[in-house]
A and B are shown apart, each in its own frame.
Chain A
Amino acid sequence: MITLKNIIKRYKSRTGAHTVLNGIDLTVAPGERLGVLGKNGAGKSTLIRLISGQELPDAGTIRRKMKVSWPLAFSGGFQGSLTGLDNLRFLSRVYDVDHEAIQSFVEDFAELGKYFREPVKHYSSGMQARLAFALSLAIEFDCYLIDEIIAVGDARFHEKCMHELFEKRKNRAFVIVSHDPNFIKSYCTRAAVLESGNMTCFNSVPEAYDYYMNDVLYAGSGHAGSS
């Protein structure tokens, strides 16, 4: 279980403090797949970083009773000057798993070929994302935090990821943030919409989808509404 209580996060900007999250309450139960929709700049990545513990909120509390992954995003989490293999060893030590046991899985899954032994800074963003995915699958978490990363690699790799994540690990919890409502609609069991610092939770994913499509994304152009 992950519990967020009245989370407030502000960033300093040239025009004064900017409130990104303004009193977010959220719980994520084991096995639940929560999708968070929001436009660019709505605070989705901030929310993910707060849940992961990478950043601390200005107010409110976050409790984690699960082993939570680092935010899987297009980049980040790797030391650029180290090779993929060195990064694997480093993360194995940090997360206390045997690096030899996971090495072949990661090497196979990430499909990096000889690049596995090259510095990560020479990777493309897709390669970095594949390595991050492979490592997080190998280390095994109770809850995966996924930040817009879903469109990793080609269609076949994409399928492989979906299979590993949502078939083999369907008992795990997921928090997925995305601006792509169709993805959230097809994979999540619950959804919420993040908008100007506030989060609206919905009982069903289609409801969230409709709200996001009509009232957030195309607000003004179609019929306006509020909730």
Chain B
Amino acid sequence: MNKRDYSQGQQSHLLQAFFIQKRVVGALLLREIITRYGRNNVGFMWLLLEPMIFCVGVVILWNTIHKDDGFRVAVTPFIVTGYSCLLLWRNCPARGIKAIEPNRSLLHHRPVKIIDIFIARMMLEIAGVTAAFITVSLAMIGLDLMALPKDLGLIIGGWFYMAWFSACLGTILGCLSEHGELVERLWHPIGYFLLAVSGTFFMVDWLPHNLQQWVLLVPMVHPIEMIRAGYWGDSPHFHYSIWYISIVCLSMSLLALLLMADKRMKMLT
């Protein structure tokens, strides 16, 4: 009964639903860009510029602080990899929280589902940060502040997990935030605390052994380590488990889907 079942086509239901969803998400993406960045042509460049400015600013800051103290690794790639990941898992929840409320009027239209609103928002956020990550990396390589990565595949893999995790986190927090103020309020301090253990500003190998096992419970640590392993190669030593992060992301996806289904039932009440 929840199917997008008008317009009798020859295609199967699933395929038909897929095309409708693609269309709706596309429409939502355009709408999102217009409402966020305005009508003028360079407006949507902010999607890329916003995270880029953040990233470059922190790179300059860290390079200044650690100019002469012989930091353990090259500062620029360390910050670019860490900070880009941070932007993903910080921005996705920021966009996900209270995502439904301003879009409620769009749900008047049956083809538009809760999941489409989240897909559009998360896609846009991920696209922006990804574009910024690529641009900043290329610029730093061009400026000789970064070398070419050792294993591009590993970086892409790590980034994929980071984006997947962030989209799930954003959607889950977004759904929960519709039920009350608590999530929105708690996420700020929790997000800040997570920053300390997320691996943004350290590598697992630098920690004492007894701490490593605890830090590796934090999901974000794994993709960041993967990305850094892709950049540096074998040394220093990196710690990550593709199994662990896969299971975390799959469970979070399932939870996100359950929450969205629940939301659909409870909307407008």
- Name the residue of chain B whose CB is nearest to the CB of A9: B269
A170 at the interface (CB under 8 A from B): no
- Name the residue of chain A whose CB is nearest to the CB of B269: A11
Q: Are A93 and B23 in contact (CB under 8 A)?
A: yes
A12, A49, A62, A94: which contacts B27 (Cβ < 8 A)? A94
Q: Which residues of B contact A211 (CB under 8 A)?
A: none
Q: Which residues of A contact B8 (CB under 8 A)?
A: 65
A53 at the interface (CB under 8 A from B): yes
- Name the residue of chain B whose CB is nearest to the CB of A142: B6
Q: Which residues of B contact A12 (CB under 8 A)?
A: 269
Q: Which residues of A contact B11 (CB under 8 A)?
A: none
The interface stretch among B90-98, B107-115, B147-155, B167-175 is B107-115
Closest Cβ of chain A to B258, distance in Å, is: 15
- Name the residue of chain A whose CB is nearest to the CB of B268: A55
Closest Cβ of chain A to B44, distance in Å, is: 15
Q: Are A68 and B110 in contact (CB under 8 A)?
A: yes
A77–B106 CA distance with the chains assembled, in angstroms: 5
Interface size class of A (residues with CB under 8 A): 20 to 34
B6, B23, B24, B109: which contacts A77 (Cβ < 8 A)? B109
- Name the residue of chain A whose CB is nearest to the CB of B19: A96
- Name the residue of chain B whose CB is nearest to the CB of A63: B1
The interface stretch among A80-88, A157-165, A184-192 is A80-88
A63, A76, A96: which contacts B108 (Cβ < 8 A)? A76
A89–B33 CA distance with the chains assembled, in angstroms: 14
A49–B268 CA distance with the chains assembled, in angstroms: 10
A204 at the interface (CB under 8 A from B): no
A64 at the interface (CB under 8 A from B): yes
A67, A71, A86, A94: which contacts B112 (Cβ < 8 A)? A94
Q: Are B1 and A61 in contact (CB under 8 A)?
A: yes
A61, A66, A70, A96: which contacts B23 (Cβ < 8 A)? A96
Within 8 A of A (CB), among B8-49: 8, 20, 23-24, 26-27, 30-31, 34-35
B64 at the interface (CB under 8 A from A): no
Q: Which residues of A contact B23 (CB under 8 A)?
A: 93-94, 96
